Amino acid sequence: MALRQVDIYLPPEHEPLGELKDAPSALSRHDLTFDDDSTLTSIVLETGDSDALLEWLHAKVGDIEGHRIVVREVLATLPRQGEEEGETTVEELGALQNGDENNEEEQDKGAAARISREEVYQDVTDAISVTSVHYALVALSTIVAAGGMLRDSSAVVIGAMVIAPLIGPNIALALGATLADWKLIRRSALVNFLGLLLGLGLAVLGGFFLPVDITVGEIASRTRAGLADVVLALAAGAAGVLSVTRGVSTALIGVMVAVALLPPLVTTGLLLGTAHWSGAYGAGMLTLINLVAINLAGIITFRIQGIRPMTWYGEEKARRLRFYAIGLWLVLMGLLIVVIVFAPPSSITGDEASSPSTTIETPLD
Residue 290 in contact with residue 357, Cβ under 8 Å? no
- Which burial class, exposed, middle or buried, applies to 165 when counting CB atoms under 10 A from its CB (0-12, 13-18, 19+)? buried
pLDDT value, residue 359: 40
Task: Identify the bridge partners of residue 72 per DSSP, sorted by sequence position.
Answer: 5
Cross-sheet strand order for the sheet of 28-33? 28-33, 39-46, 3-10, 68-74
Low-confidence ranges of the chain (pLDDT < 50): 85-112, 347-365
Dist. CA 34–CA 17, nearest whole Å: 14
pTM of the model: 0.75
Peptide bond into 12 cis (omega under 30): no
**Angle (deg, nearest 10), helices 47-61 and 117-127:** 100
- What pLDDT, in 10s, does the model give residues 276-307? 999 999 999 999 999 999 999 999 999 998 88
At 219 the pLDDT is 92
Q: pLDDT, tens digit, for every residue of 58-75?
A: 888 877 888 898 988 888
> 144, exposed or middle or buried, with CB in 10 Å at 0-12, 13-18, 19+?
buried
Spatial CA neighbour of 354 closest among 275, 279, 253: 275
Q: What is the spatial distance between Cα 292 and Cα 303, in angstroms, rounded to a whole number?
A: 17
Residue 72 CA, distance from chain mean position: 21
Distance CA 218, CA 51 (A): 44
Strand partners, 10: 39
Q: How many CB atoms lie within 10 A of CB 169?
A: 24
CA atoms within 13 A on the CB side of 80: 2
User: What Rg, from alpha-carbon coordinates, does the chain have?
Assistant: 26
- pLDDT for position 312: 65
> Which residues partner with 46 through β-bridges?
3
Sign of CA dihedral 70, 76, 77, 83: positive
**Is 225 in contact with 340 (CB distance < 8 Å)?**
yes
Q: What is the pLDDT of residue 346?
A: 60
Please give the C-alpha separations between residue 153 and each of 140, 144, 158, 205, 219, in angstroms, as whole numbers: 17, 10, 9, 20, 10
Cβ–Cβ < 8 Å for 6, 50: yes
Per-residue pLDDT at 288: 94
Classified as helix, coil or strand, 63 is coil
